[in-house]
A and B are shown apart, each in its own frame.
Chain A
Amino acid sequence: MNLDKKLYTLKYSPDTESHLKPDFEQCKLCITKCCVNICPAQVYEWNEETQELIVNFENCLECGACRIACERQCLNWQYPKGTKGVTFKQG
């Protein structure tokens, strides 16, 4: 089963503004870009053409893995606003 189908099972109330704010200049210098692989919701994608990190923040499961793993420690990671983000019905 692919990840999109997994994420489709979740209830989200996305904000208009991202709660995940990487320093995009630092991301360009980052060698491993480990956030792209470790994120369990594939929030982060690296665009080779534009050399930019794409942040699909509306898929975030709010686990915090990217915050801890970020090699350059350049991620401003906050919880989404109180009414926003993911809601687990099972947990």
Chain B
Amino acid sequence: MLKRENKTDVIIVGAGPAGISCAITLARAGKEVILIERGLFAGSKNVFGGAIYTQATKEIFPNFETEAPIERRNIEHNFAILGEEDSTTITYRKNDNSSYSVIRAKFDRWAAEEAKKAGAYIVEETVVRELIKEKNQVIGVKTELEEYFADIVILADGVNSLLAKQIGLRKDIDTKDVALSVKEVIKLDNQIINQRFKLKDDEGAIVEIFGGPMLGMLGLGFMYTNTDSVTIGLGITLNELAENNYRPYEILEKLKQHPTIAPLIEGGTLKEYSAHLIPEGGYKKIPKLCDNGVMIIGDAAMLVNNLHWEGTNLAMISGKLAAQTAVEAIEKNDFSKKTLSGYEKKLKKSFILKDLKTYRELMDVMHSRKKAFLCYYMKKINAFFEMFTSVNGIPKKENYHKFIKSIFTDRKISELFKDIWAIVKLLWSILI
């Protein structure tokens, strides 16, 4: 299928949602594409929290809801604010199909098979060690065994993207711009999951967890339901772990023992433990997205909207947009940075860079006010409901007065003003 030996239109490095979406879009457009994956199969090195998003996934795989190996259709989002012992949970429930839980080792493998059916050539168990450059242009890749050449190389090699760094498209990642996530998939009987999460048939639930053992840390927990297992995990900013000598799996153990969480996973057996980095630098830390003969997509390009737990959708659509740009470049026979910058323009017009730009100030604010927003106010929400629900003979007015007074006396009053200012500044940056 190749024109010349080891030369093709496009090489994509990494078979995750970004790389596979890119490959299938190119193959459908009749272009020659090689997708190189370092794992035993597509998905074997891939880890995420738990959800794929219907709208983005349908753009790439229109029939995935009936054809792909999906687990559960998420109909419920829980936002659980954990204190040390207590908790407050807000639940939004709607019989909807906007996202699904999947097992990546199954879903990515299926998606890669779809790309293969469309005509993409997939090379597994192969690590790309280097990019080959000639006259300031990326012209191919060097694996452990051989060299492959292409008009365009697309980097979908994930959060660590050693290749993007190697050719100077991005600098070293700062510890405050990634979260280390650890998670467990816990086997539980289908009926038990349905009872505990109030679900039936293919319905699924998501729990977003604030506080608990992560009180005061820039970190969040998550739970997803699969058909016959439950995923529980957390992600904490790497600098937080490094500075405080925390062991991530010990924090996860504490989370699993929290009185609000423990009953949900009780009696389950561990199917698999895993860990992964999540790129959380946001808009300000997006690398250069293209250069002569090369583009970067997905996690490798830091395309994650952490506030909304979105990643796979940004990956898929960035892959599609890079593929469309590659098709244009192939038709023009021009693989210069100028032509490939069409990818960046497409990203800017899409929700991807618009959303990331909207939240450009979020991480700076959270880093500087984490003790307030991720500890003090979390505790305060629980303290409010403790006060509101307690029946102890104390007149309610006294309780209210005491609670309101505490907001002004718990901390220095200047802290309160700093919080208000941070919120105003953040809302301004998001909404205006």
Contact = CB atoms under 8 A, between A and B. Distances in A.
A78 B157 CA distance: 13
Given A40-B249, A65-B180, A88-B272, A83 B125 contact: yes
B160 A90 contact: no
A91 B47 contact: yes
A54 interface: no
B44 interface: yes
A90 B105 contact: yes
A87 interface: yes
Interface in B179-211: 180, 182, 184-185
Nearest to B276: A63
Contact of A90 (B38, B125, B242, B274): B274
B238 to A, nearest CB: 6
Contacts of B143: 82
A37 interface: yes
Contacts of B273: 6-7, 9-10
16 contacts: A1-B270, A5-B270, A9-B271, A32-B242, A38-B238, A40-B182, A40-B275, A63-B277, A65-B241, A67-B160, A68-B172, A68-B174, A78-B129, A79-B38, A90-B103, A91-B105
A82 B245 contact: no
A64 B105 contact: no
A3 interface: yes
Given A3-B249, A38-B246, A90-B104, 16 more contacts: A7-B273, A9-B272, A10-B273, A37-B241, A37-B245, A65-B238, A68-B172, A69-B238, A69-B242, A79-B162, A80-B127, A82-B127, A87-B44, A88-B105, A90-B229, A90-B272
B144 A81 contact: yes
A85 B238 CA distance: 23
| Chain A CB within 10 Å, residue with most, of B43, B46, B276 | B276
B272 A64 contact: no
Given A37-B241, A38-B241, A91-B108, A65 B247 contact: no
A63 B144 contact: no
From B126, B160, B242, name the one whose CB has the most chain A CB atoms within 10 angstroms.
B242
B48 interface: yes
B132 interface: no
Nearest to B109: A91
| Interface core residue of A42, A61, A68 (most chain B CB under 10 Å) | A68
B277 A82 contact: no
A88 B272 CA distance: 8
Interface in B236-295: 238-239, 241-242, 245-249, 253, 270-277
A9 B160 CA distance: 24
Chain B CB within 10 A, most for which of A32, A69, A71, A91: A91
Contacts of A90: 103-105, 185, 229, 271-272, 274
A6 B249 contact: yes
Contacts of A3: 249
Contacts of A71: 242
A34 B241 CA distance: 8
B270 A91 contact: no
Interface string B73-96: 000000000000000000000000
B327 interface: no
B407 interface: no
Contacts of A91: 43-44, 46-48, 103-105, 108, 274
Nearest to B229: A90
Contacts of B342: none
Contact of B275 (A61, A73, A79, A82): A61
B16 to A, nearest CB: 10
Interface in B156-178: 159-160, 162, 172-175, 178
A63 B247 CA distance: 15
A41 B275 contact: yes
Interface string A45-78: 0000000000000000111110111010100001
A61 B238 CA distance: 16
B241 A1 contact: no
Given A64-B277, A88-B45, A90-B104, A38 B242 contact: yes
B160 A82 contact: no
Nearest to A82: B125
Contact of A87 (B40, B180, B270, B277): B40
A75 to B, nearest CB: 12
- Nearest 9 interchain pairs by C-beta: A91-B104, A40-B275, A6-B273, A82-B125, A64-B160, A90-B272, A34-B242, A90-B185, A61-B275
B39 interface: yes
Contacts of B174: 68
B275 A1 contact: no
B239 to A, nearest CB: 8
Contacts of B241: 34, 37-38, 65, 69
